[in-house]
Copies of this chain bind each other. A is one copy, B any other.
Amino acid sequence: MKKLAVVALGGNALLRGDQQGTIDEQEANIYETCTYLLQLIKKDYNLVIGHGNGPQVGNVLLQHEAGSKMFNIPKMPIDICVAETQGSIGYMIEQQLRNVLEKENLQRDIISIITQAMVEKNDPAFDNPTKPVGPYYSKEEADAIAEKTSHKFAEDPRGRGWRRVVPSPAPKSINNRHSIEKLVRDGQIVIAVGGGGIPYFYVEPNKLQGIDAVIDKDFASSMLATQINADEFFILTDVEKVYLNFRKPDEKELDTITVSEAKKYLEEGHFSKGSMEPKIQACIQFVEKGGKQAVITQAYKLGDPGAGTKIVRD
């Protein structure tokens, strides 16, 4: 049986921080990323692609805000905005990956699936919303919105104003996982859990409802990898490897570490919160739940056996 890999693409693979976000920029970045994904396909992996949506969902939220002010179009909740970005980013990846495969005369279906991820209402994240989303407001504007809605706001640490903060709960299950696994084992390429998936919960025993929250894309991709019995899990980011004492004089790069070592380094505080820390945690979860290995690296290293930092079983 072919090896099955889930690859989670970070924001940089789609849109860099120094870019405006035009269609040409995004298509060029994604095309390049797809040439790296090709390395795994050529090595005969079956492939699922997860991806982030940070800059894109930020733009969608601002567009809804502006559309409401200028044209009186009802603003949609965050779950719908995430779904919109799954559509646009899924399409862009699908199209560029088709272009890469066409050049190589490789025939695969490439299937972008809108993905819902279940969360639990009693997840502690709901008591402590931390993820900033949408436009910046003045303190007065934020207070006025907070009074009319249940929205929570927090001041931007860099002083750019106040932003809505939403919870970032843990994904408990990924919808359509059986069909995703079937498609992928059939040799097709699936794009799923975009932006971490669209969060929903059971508001009543038989009633699903979307919820204003954002799921971490690495945790969601890790959960999907576990639930479809993937062999390997890749997180693509903007560093080649994971480091101890990152950017300090005694910086040390990590090649292969066990889950126990990874946990020890986590406890010692080597990995930055909201950045490398959740990636390491997502890798640990995948390997602890049965995955063979998780790899954190840069996209252009894909297919290179020595690439990145590997997290393996003890």
Contact B80 A91 (CB under 8 A): yes
The quantity of this chain's copies bound in the complex is 2
Q: Which residues of B contact A84 (CB under 8 A)?
A: 60, 84-85, 87-88
Say yes or no for A86: interface residue by CB 8 A criterion: yes
Contact B73 A176 (CB under 8 A): no
Contact B179 A188 (CB under 8 A): yes
- In the complex, what distance in Å separates the CA atom of A272 from the CA atom of B76? 34
Contact B109 A178 (CB under 8 A): yes
- In the complex, what distance in Å separates the CA atom of A80 from the CA atom of B206? 34
Q: Choose one: B66, B90, B99, B176; the contact of A206 (CB below 8 Å).
A: B99
Say yes or no for A63: interface residue by CB 8 A criterion: yes
Q: Choose one: B79, B179, B209; the contact of A109 (CB below 8 Å).
A: B179
- In the complex, what distance in Å separates the CA atom of A84 from the CA atom of B111? 16
Q: Choose one: B65, B91, B186; the contact of A182 (CB below 8 Å).
A: B186
Say yes or no for A307: interface residue by CB 8 A criterion: no
Contact B77 A71 (CB under 8 A): no
Say yes or no for A125: interface residue by CB 8 A criterion: no
- In the complex, what distance in Å separates the CA atom of A165 from the CA atom of B179? 39
Q: Which residues of B contact A99 (CB under 8 A)?
A: 206-208
Say yes or no for A198: interface residue by CB 8 A criterion: yes
Q: Choose one: B23, B110, B206; the contact of A103 (CB below 8 Å).
A: B206
**Interface band, chain A:** 35 or more
Q: Which residues of B contact A178 (CB under 8 A)?
A: 109
- In the complex, what distance in Å separates the CA atom of A71 from the CA atom of B74? 18
Contact B114 A91 (CB under 8 A): yes
Could you tell me the distance in whole angstroms from the C-beta of A34 to the nearest C-beta in chain B? 12
Q: Are A208 and B102 CB-contacts (below 8 A) given A84-B87, A90-B87?
A: yes
- In the complex, what distance in Å separates the CA atom of A138 from the CA atom of B80? 32
Say yes or no for A303: interface residue by CB 8 A criterion: no
Say yes or no for A83: interface residue by CB 8 A criterion: yes
- In the complex, what distance in Å separates the CA atom of A76 from the CA atom of B87? 13
Contact B77 A23 (CB under 8 A): yes
Please encode chain A, from 237 to 271, with 1 for each CB lying within 8 Å of some chain B CB and 0 for all others. Answer: 00000000000000000000000000000000000
Contact B66 A179 (CB under 8 A): no
- Some 11 contacts from A to B, beta carbons below 8 A apart, are A62-B70, A63-B71, A66-B66, A80-B91, A84-B88, A87-B90, A91-B210, A109-B176, A110-B176, A113-B114, A179-B183
